[in-house]
Amino acid sequence: MAVFNGVRLVSLAVLVLVSQLDSASAAVRVFGLSARGLTGDGFENFLDPYLKVRCGSSFGQTESFDDNNNPTWSVEFNFPNCNRYDKLEVELWDSDLFFDEYFGTCSENVMFKGVYSITCRGSEDTLFYSYELLE
């Protein structure tokens, strides 16, 4: 299990470094990612949540938190190939030993230059994030 955590950390570090290299030419910046009130499985287990973020032809993924139903991710993504009218998607996942469980997607169409704060409500949980279109 420690090997898998090491691989995840290395993968995360590479993703973060790659996203930072594109910051000067970024068309869309995604930041301020957090969730509140996440509910676990039917056995009331806590989640090990992480997010997959997509826009245009760009993709990013946060680290997962063990047993945390109210996570805040400090990572920031810069998507150079995301433009006006593209769909920005933030997916919530639960990291598990054998397969990861998908919990839902929040999506927005990127519209106008500026900063936007998004609140995406589920049945019992809420996902928060912000994005900025830099034209």
CATH number at residue 91: 2.60.40.150
Number of domains in the chain: 1
How are beta strands 101-109 and 114-121 bridged, if at all?
A: unpaired
DSSP output for 35-71 = EES----TT-PPP-EEEEEEETTEEEEPPP-TT-SS-
The CA distance from 48 to 63, in Å, is 10
H-helix or E-strand containing 29?
Answer: strand 28-36
Positions of the chain with pLDDT lower than 50, given as ranges:
1, 3-4, 10, 12-24
Entry pTM: 0.78
User: pLDDT by residue (tens digit) across 7-41?
Assistant: 555 454 444 444 444 444 559 999 999 999 998 66
Host domain of residue 63: 2-133
